[in-house]
Amino acid sequence: MNRLKDKVALITASGSGIGRATAYLFAEEGASVAVCDINQEAGGETAARIRSKGGRSSFFRCDVTSSKDVKEAVRATEETFGTIDIVHSHAGGVVDHPDNVLEDSEEDWVGLMNLNIKSHFLVAKEVVPIMIKNHGGAIIVTITTNAFMNYRNSQAYGTTKSALIQLVKSLALDYAANNIRVNALAPGEVLTPMWERSVPVNMRDTIKRKIPMGRIGAPEDIASCALFLASDDARYMTGNVLFVDGGLMAGFYEMSL
């Protein structure tokens, strides 16, 4: 307990799924939590539950593809809590049809690039100056195992997640001297609302059988690893990717047999 005592954490897409689980855990560990989400009702529920359990939390509605929204959410967080020590830049999405060059429109492609890449750039652009002023901080960017292994019909999604690896490593290299740690968290299959919307029911048992640990991950499995990266336990880690996938990457070749 109290691994994040007196810290301030900003978490994007924290109205549900992994983001919400991370917000709850960070609050339990002593952090004040800025909940940022485009869904006002869901984000508000996350912040309200944290407060109901005695934690400090405020909700700030934010479209992470909008530089204006991101700037305002970061400013409001700093004004409310005094600073920002930790950021979990978690927002992302998929297209709602087969993701290939024939099916994707230009609007699909640009939209996914904005949500899955541009948003993380915008967040970093606003919080890095605060962390430089504070002589340090921790940024965690959610990517996915899709950044390292390809699936059919996931061209734009996989491309965006691969690009995030370079963003994470560049930020880590550029700001290591400022004691700003930047790491990526790479979940495998996780039972979230987005996963349930995008994975057909008839494929779920097959996917589960391909995971060496034999189960789909829970949002809390990912949140606990985000906590590690946010805490001083990871004080000598930057520019890394932490896989949280039930052994999926370890057995990727076997999975294809």
Any domain includes 129: yes
Find where tokens 């589960």 sit: 208
Any domain includes 3: no
As a whole number, mean pLDDT of residues 128-135 equals 97
Q: One of 157, 175, 236, 253 is an active-site residue; which one?
A: 157
The confidence band for 204, taking pLDDT boundaries of 50, 70 and 90, is confident
Is residue 21 exposed (0-12), middle (13-18) or buried (19+ Cβ within 10 Å)? buried
**CA 253 distance to own-chain centroid:** 27
Any domain includes 189: yes
| pLDDT at residue 254, rounded to an integer | 56
Any domain includes 15: yes
- Return the percentage of the chain with pLDDT > 70, whole number: 97
**Does residue 212 or residue 101 have the better pLDDT?**
212
∠ CA 233-236-239 to the nearest 5 degrees?
115
What token pair was written down for 67?
């530089």
What token pair was written down for 200?
């057909």
Q: How many residues does the chain have?
A: 257
Any domain includes 164: yes
Instruction: Give the separation between CA 117 and CA 36, rounded to whole angstroms.
Output: 17
Any domain includes 2: no
DSSP code per residue over the chain:
--TTTT-EEEEETTTSHHHHHHHHHHHHTT-EEEEEES-HHHHHHHHHHHHHTT--EEEEE--TT-HHHHHHHHHHHHHHHS---EEEE------SS-BSTTT--HHHHHHHHIIIIIHHHHHHHHHHHHHHHTT-EEEEEE--GGGTS--TTBHHHHHHHHHHHHHHHHHHHHHGGGTEEEEEEEE-SB--HHHHHHS-GGGHHHHHHHSTTSS-B-HHHHHHHHHHHHSGGGTT--S-EEEESTTTTTTHHHHT-
Instruction: Give the separation between CA 152 and CA 139, rounded to whole angstroms.
Output: 31
| pLDDT at residue 193, rounded to an integer | 82
Any domain includes 78: yes
Number of domains within the chain: 1
**Active site (annotated) includes residue 157:** yes
The confidence band for 257, taking pLDDT boundaries of 50, 70 and 90, is very low
User: Is residue 55's pLDDT more than 50?
Assistant: yes
| Residue type, position 104, single letter | D
CA separation, residue 174 to residues 77, 171, 232 (Å): 24, 5, 20
Taking a C-beta distance cutoff of 8 angstroms, is the pair 51, 40 a contact?
A: no
Residues contacting residue 100 through CB under 8 Å, at least 6 positions apart: 152, 153, 155
User: Is residue 132's pLDDT more than 80?
Assistant: yes
The reported pTM is 0.93
CATH code, domain with 214: 3.40.50.720
Host domain of residue 230: 8-255
Any domain includes 1: no
As a whole number, mean pLDDT of residues 13-21 equals 96
